[in-house]
Amino acid sequence: MTQPKRKLMSTSMSDKLFDGTNIVVMCIILIVTLYPFLNVLAISFNDSHDTVRGGLTIYPRAFTLKNYETIFAYQGLITGFYMSVLRTVVGTLFGLISGSMLAFVLARADFQARKFVSTFLALTMYVSGGLIPVYMLMRDLNLMNSFWVYVLPGLVSAFNVFVIRSFIDGLPFALQESAKIDGANDFTIYWRVILPLCKPVLATIALFLAVGQWNSWFDTYLYNGSSPSLTTLQYELTKVLQSTTNSADFRGKNITELVTSVSPESIKMAITIVVSLPILIIYPFLQRYFVKGMTLGAVKS
């Protein structure tokens, strides 16, 4: 990002006022964004009986680890953690392979069926069968109460394919031609030549896929709600959070029923932290990748 050199000019009074106000506005935005997370963090480490008194801000008044001990003793959360990790890893891996393979094929201008495959794929961005027909299809395919319902429906994303393709388009085609002269077939070119060069765009797509997998709860609710062994962290959190407001709508037992000795509030907040922490730790390191990826996607689509 090139910033115009402003220091050369003398800053006027109104410009100084502008800068001051701007910094104040930015600080307010920082507070509004961060305060809720810090508040949740404080409550999660606070003694549950003390929490009921209210008035907690950004530090725990009576520090304790008991809330975390309680939730980690709950089987649903352990299973949920395992499932969330598994679906994130498998879903991201499958998504990367399918996305990059299709992108590679569609980036080949000489491919006979390119126009057809490309249109066939692009249409899925605009037309969808809708909630109920998809639900019935999953039932007919025996994907209810199965791990694969987390991975298969979202396997090919047209958007991801087009983002990766526009990246491959930017690579010199001579690379592919020289590999071809050396006797490599198209699959080898994809695997040995193109894939290693796609690392930056694949990092972006991997982040999008992983975040999507980690954060989804609705598929668990809709398809696997009656299989405790397939529960996910987000779904467990949904159950706990909705237990006070919307309990009639939810299936199964929740933690607050199981552990009555602890304030539900602290438990909720502890689970919230456990659920969000992995992604919050990772994302700042991938910032340059997703900023590039977003920009690339926006320009091309």
Partner 1 sequence: MEAITNHNKKPGGLKRNSFLYKMLQQKYLYLMSIPFVIWVFVFSYLPIWGWTMAFQKFRPARSFWDQDWVGFKHFVDLFSDDRFFLVMRNTLAMSFMGLVANFTIPILFAVLLNELRHQVFKRFVQTVSYLPHFVSWVVVAGIVTKMLSIDGGVVNQMLMGLNLIDKPIQFMGEPHYFWSIVTASDIWKEMGWTTIIYLAAITGIDPEQYEAARVDGAGRWRQIWHITLPGIRTTISILLIMSIGHLIQIGFEKQFLLGNPLVIDYSEVLDLYALNNGITQNRYSFGTAISIFNSVVSIILLFVANGIFKRVTKESIM
Which 191-210 positions form the footprint of partner 1 (CB under 8 A)?
Answer: none
- 167 sits near partner 1 (criterion: CB under 8 A): no
Listed residue (81, 72, 33, 42) closest to 266, CA to CA = 42
DSSP, res 85: H
Residue 12, token pair as written in the block: 């006027």
Q: Binder to partner 1 among 63, 65, 89, 133 (CB under 8 A)?
A: 133
Which of residues 14, 109, 183, 261 is near partner 1 by CB under 8 A? 14
Between CA 122 and CA 125 the distance in angstroms is 6
Q: Is residue 132 classed as helix, strand or coil in its secondary structure?
A: helix
- In degrees and rounded to multiples of 5, residue 18 shows phi and psi of -60, -50
Which residue's CB is nearer to partner 1, number 23 or number 65?
A: 23
The stretch among 62-70, 72-80, 198-206, 241-249 that binds partner 1 (CB under 8 A) is 241-249
Residue 69 touches partner 1, criterion: CB under 8 A: no
Residue 97 Cβ vs partner 1, minimum distance, rounded to whole Å: 10
The separation between the first and the last C-alpha atoms of the chain, rounded to the nearest angstrom, is 23
**Closest CB to partner 1 among residues 189, 230:** 189
Residues written for the chain:
301
Binding range to partner 1, per CB under 8 A, among 64-72, 85-93, 166-174, 274-282: 274-282
155 belongs to the binding site for partner 1 (CB under 8 A): yes
Q: Which is nearer to partner 1, 82 or 290 (CB)?
A: 290
Nearest CA among 156, 154, 143, 153 for reference residue 230:
143
Q: Rule CB under 8 A: is residue 121 a binding residue for partner 1?
A: yes
